[in-house]
């Protein structure tokens, strides 16, 4: 798992303009709307019927921390960040015996301190019934950077 | 001593050890050593697979490798999505070809038209990513596809496309947009 994420990071970094401070370093916060769902069940990362969630992304170089609704998402590996010009991808995977899960946040800058975000959270469970195996949510909206946490643009 | 002399003589006339008749080694059990080694390797592979914890259900779903085709439905698009691009409710046909750590994504028009970008693929067996982040002509483009295997021959696709201006023209353009789509693709080839 660690090796796969490292390879993923390496591939993204090949396209990254610079290391060190990136245009995305800082703490980004806002409310993202739930714009799509697939499947349902009790093992969801959003409450049933939620139409939005507060998102906080703390990005530093090639790593990020994610909080949803004030709750930190803790996974075996840190969230990884790939930056290319005014675009960034924040991603992670949680792979266990019971499910394979992926997180993907696509970011593009609207201005120095605002990003447009589209995110997918997908989990594929060890569920014998294929029709209910997969649960996915799409989030979309804007995040603002905390001025005090901005480092460089 | 005699063997050493014989080998030296063979070397002088240009005969290598490799050209000598192979010796058959027999395991104390009486079985051919190659068979014994093969059995040991199979046992190691099995133990390694168990230690890696790849459950049967993921093995059954299999990898992302292959050619996948089907229709996705656009479930969301921002207001500034430019004319001619996907709109909410559109149902574009998609083809995904995954080969090891790379992928080619094509959209059906009159024929399959590959999207720009060097798509990378990460396969966790049962699910994974395909993505590219690229720029050109003052635009950045961010394609991301989260993939989940529904069964061995069916792939669920959760797609996002986010695009905007490059850093140098952020202040002069106001045209960023995002599109999301999802759908089910069927395997066409291994």
Residues in chain A: 153
Taking 50 as the threshold, does the pLDDT of residue B134 lie above it?
yes
The contacts of residue A96 (CB under 8 Å, 6+ apart) are none
What's the mean per-residue pLDDT of chain A? 84
Among candidates B75, B101, B124 on the partner chain, residue whose Cβ is nearest the Cβ of A138: B75
What ipTM describes this predicted complex? 0.85
Residue-wise pLDDT for B43-89, tens only, equals: 766 665 555 567 888 888 888 999 999 999 999 999 989 888 999 99
H, E, C per residue of chain A:
CHHHHHHHHHHHHHCCCCCCCCCCCEEEEEEEEEEEEECCCCCCCCCCCCCEEEEEEEEECCEEEEEECCEEECCCCCEEEEEECCEEEEEEEEECCCEEEEEEEEEEEEECCEEEEEEEEEEEECCCCHHHCEEEEEEEEEEEECHHHCCCC
Chain A: closest CA distance from residue B48 (Å):
15
The contacts of residue A17 (CB under 8 Å, 6+ apart) are A83, A84, A85
Q: Select the residue from A100, A121, A137 to test the B interface by mutation, using most B Cβ atoms within 10 A.
A: A100
Which of the residue ranges A11-15, A18-22, A147-151, B90-94 has the most confident prediction, judged by mean pLDDT?
B90-94
Residue B48, phi then psi, degrees to nearest 5: -65, -45
Worst-scoring range by mean pLDDT, A65-69, B16-20, B96-100?
B16-20
Taking 50 as the threshold, does the pLDDT of residue B90 lie above it?
yes
Worst-scoring range by mean pLDDT, A92-101, B6-15, B83-92?
B6-15
Residue ranges of domains in chain B, CATH in brackets: 2-53 (no CATH), 63-189 (2.40.128)
Residue-wise pLDDT for A17-52, tens only, equals: 444 468 999 999 999 999 999 987 656 677 777 899
Average pLDDT over residues A78-100: 92
Residue A118 domain-assigned (yes or no): yes
The contacts of residue A99 (CB under 8 Å, 6+ apart) are A43, A123, A124, A125, A126
| Residue A86 domain boundaries | 2-148
Residue of B nearest to A83 (CA): B133
**Residues A122/A128/A131/A136 CA torsion (nearest 10 deg):** -10
H, E, C per residue of B47-78:
HHHHHHCCCHHHHHHCCCCEEEEEEEEEEEEC
Average pLDDT over residues A48-69: 93
Average pLDDT over residues A118-124: 95
Q: What is the pTM of this model?
A: 0.78
The contacts of residue A59 (CB under 8 Å, 6+ apart) are A22, A24, A25, A26, A27, A28, A81, A88, A90
**Structure-token pair, residue B146:** 């989260």
Residue A21 domain-assigned (yes or no): yes
pLDDT of B10 reads: 47
Residue A36 domain-assigned (yes or no): yes
Pairing of strands A134-145, B154-165: unpaired
- Chain A residues close to B176, C-beta within 8 Å: 108-110, 116
Chain B: closest CA distance from residue A71 (Å):
23
Residues in chain B: 190
Taking 70 as the threshold, does the pLDDT of residue B27 lie above it?
no
Residue A73 domain-assigned (yes or no): yes
Chain B: closest CA distance from residue A152 (Å):
13
CATH at A16: 2.40.160
- The number of angstroms, rounded, from the C-alpha of B68 to the middle of its chain's C-alpha atoms is 12
The contacts of residue A86 (CB under 8 Å, 6+ apart) are A23, A108, A109, B135, B140, B164, B165, B166, B167, B170
- Higher pLDDT residue, A18 or B31? B31
- Chain B residues close to A113, C-beta within 8 Å: none
pLDDT of A50 reads: 85
Residue of A nearest to B171 (CA): A111
Taking 50 as the threshold, does the pLDDT of residue A153 lie above it?
no
pLDDT of B31 reads: 73
User: Which 3 state secondary structure label does DSSP give B38?
Assistant: helix
Reported as a pLDDT band with limits 50, 70 and 90, residue B13 is very low
Residue A153 domain-assigned (yes or no): no
> What's the number of domains chain A is made of?
1
The proportion of chain B whose per-residue pLDDT surpasses 70, expressed as a percent, equals 79
Exposure string for A65-100, b = 16+ CB within 10 A, e = fewer: bbbbeeeeeeeeeebbbbbbbbbbbbbbbbbeeebb
Reported as a pLDDT band with limits 50, 70 and 90, residue A15 is very low
Taking 90 as the threshold, does the pLDDT of residue B183 lie above it?
yes
pLDDT of B36 reads: 76
Average pLDDT over residues A81-92: 96
Distance CA A50, CA A37 (A): 11
Residue B91, phi then psi, degrees to nearest 5: -130, 75
């Amino acid at each position: 798992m660690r090796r796969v994420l490292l390879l993923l990071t390496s591939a993204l970094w090949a396209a990254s303009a610079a290391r060190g401070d990136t245009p995305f370093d800082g703490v980004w916060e806002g409310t993202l709307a739930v714009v799509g769902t697939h499947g349902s069940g009790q093992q969801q990362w959003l409450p049933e019927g939620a139409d939005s969630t507060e998102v906080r992304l703390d990005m530093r170089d090639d790593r990020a921390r994610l909080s949803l609704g004030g709750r930190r998402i803790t996974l075996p590996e840190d969230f990884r960040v790939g930056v290319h010009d005014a675009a960034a991808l924040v991603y992670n995977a949680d792979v266990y015996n019971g499910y394979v899960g992926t997180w993907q946040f696509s970011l593009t800058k609207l201005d120095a301190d605002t990003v447009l975000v589209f995110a997918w959270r997908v989990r594929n469970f060890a569920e014998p019934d294929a029709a209910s195996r997969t649960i996915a949510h799409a989030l979309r909206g804007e995040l603002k950077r905390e001025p005090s946490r901005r480092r460089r643009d | 001593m005699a063997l050493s002399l014989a080998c030296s003589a063979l070397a002088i006339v240009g005969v290598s050890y490799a050209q000598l008749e192979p010796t058959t080694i027999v395991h104390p059990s009486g079985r051919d050593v190659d068979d014994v080694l093969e059995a040991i390797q199979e046992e190691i592979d099995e133990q390694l697979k168990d230690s890696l914890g790849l459950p049967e259900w993921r093995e059954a779903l299999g990898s992302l490798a292959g050619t996948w085709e089907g229709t996705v439905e656009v479930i969301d698009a921002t207001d500034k999505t430019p004319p001619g691009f996907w709109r909410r409710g559109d149902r574009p046909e998609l083809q995904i070809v995954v080969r090891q750590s790379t992928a080619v994504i094509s959209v059906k028009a009159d024929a399959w038209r590959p999207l720009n970008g060097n798509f990378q693929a990460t396969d966790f067996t049962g699910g994974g990513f395909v993505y590219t982040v690229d720029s050109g002509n003052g635009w950045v483009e961010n394609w991301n596809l989260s993939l989940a295997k529904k069964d061995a021959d069916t792939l669920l696709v959760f797609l996002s496309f986010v695009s905007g201006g490059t850093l140098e023209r952020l202040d002069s353009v106001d045209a960023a947009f995002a599109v999301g789509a999802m759908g089910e693709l069927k395997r066409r080839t291994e």
